[in-house]
Structure 1
C-alpha cells in the first residue's frame, strides 16, 4: 500500500492507522503562528464506527488504502442481512444492514448500490444520492402560508420524516436527498 504525507489527506480517503481502517471525514489544515503546519483530521473507523480526532504533520507518513468498488443490485432482506447481487458475476452476497446506517430506509428493491470491499470484507455501502419516495401523511395546505418560504412535516412511504414545501400533498411522489434527509423536488 502506498504511503502518503499527513498534509495530503483528503476527506473520503481511507487510511490504515492504529491497526484499523479509518475514513477521513473532515480535514482541516492549520498553520499556527508558532510551530509547524498540520492537518487536523476527523477519522471514522470503518469496522466499528468509532470516531477519532488526529493531528498529522507534513512529515508524518500514513498508509493510503485503496478499496475495491463494485456496483451491486439489492435483492431482498433476510434476518438483518441485505442480499445483493454482483452485476457482473451474478453472485449473491449477504451484507450486514448496519453498513447502511440511518440511510437503510431509502434502500429499495432492485436499487443499484456501490459496495466498497477491502479484500473480501465489505466496509461501506453507498446508495444513490437522490431517490423517489411517496408522501403518505402530511398537513393540508393553509391559505396565506406560501407568502414566506415555509415547510411542513411529512412522512414518507418508508417511514422517514422530512420537511416539505406547503404545496406538496399526500400521495405525491418527491425526490429526497438521502445524505441530507431533505426534500429536493417533485418527481
Structure 2
C-alpha cells in the first residue's frame, strides 16, 4: 500500500482509515480565509456501508488501497447466499445476498460479474452494464401514440418495475441499464 497526502484524495480512491476500508465518494478542497487548506472528504465504508465526513490536511498521510479484481460466474443461490465461481481457478465462494444491493434482481444464472477483493475478502461485485429482461406486464400498445417523451410502467420478469416507451408490449425483450435501472433499448 502506498501513502498519499490528504489533499491527493480523489473521488473513487479507496483508503485505509480508522481501521476500515473507505471509498471516497465526494471530495471538496477548501481554502478558508484563516488557517491552512484542507480536503473535506465524504467516505463510505466498503464493509458496512456507513458514511463519514472527514477533513484531511495536506500534511496528513493516508494509506491508499488497491483492490484486486477477478471475473466470477454466478452459479446459484442457497440459504440467502450467492455462490460464485472463479473463471480461471474454478474455486467457488459464497457471499451474502446483499453484496449487490438494489441491483440484485438483475443477477441471472451463469452471469459473469467482476468482484473486487481486498486480500482474500470480497468487498463488492459489479454486474454487466446492460442486461436483457422480459416484459411480463404492461399497458397495451396504443396505435398513433408517439414515443416523444411519454413512457408507461412495465413489470419485468425479475420483479422490478421500469418505465418503457409506449410501443413496447407484453412478452418483449428489452435491454436495461443496471447502473441507472432504466430502459435502454429493445433486445
Calculate the TM-score normalised by the size of structure 1: 0.92
Alignment coverage as a number of residue pairs: 187
Partner SS state of residue 104, structure 2? helix
For the 8 Å contact 2:142–2:167, the answer to whether it is kept is no
What does residue 138 of structure 2 align with?
Answer: 138
State TM-score, norm by structure 2. 0.92
Distance 1:92 1:45 in 2: 26
- Residue 162 of structure 1: aligned partner: 162
Counterparts of 1:16-165 in structure 2, within 5 Å, are 16-143=16-143, 145-146=145-146, 148-165=148-165
Cα offset for 1:148?
Answer: 3.8
CA distance in 2, matches of 1:184, 1:39: 37
Deviation at 1:139, TM superposition (A): 1.3
Name structure 2 gaps, 5 residues minimum. Answer: none
Q: 5+ unaligned residues in a row in structure 1: which ranges? A: none
Task: Tell me how far apart the structure 2 counterparts of residues 145 and 40 of structure 1 sit (CA, whole Å).
Answer: 50
Q: CA deviation at 1:89?
A: 0.6
Over aligned residue pairs, what C-alpha RMSD do you find? 1.7
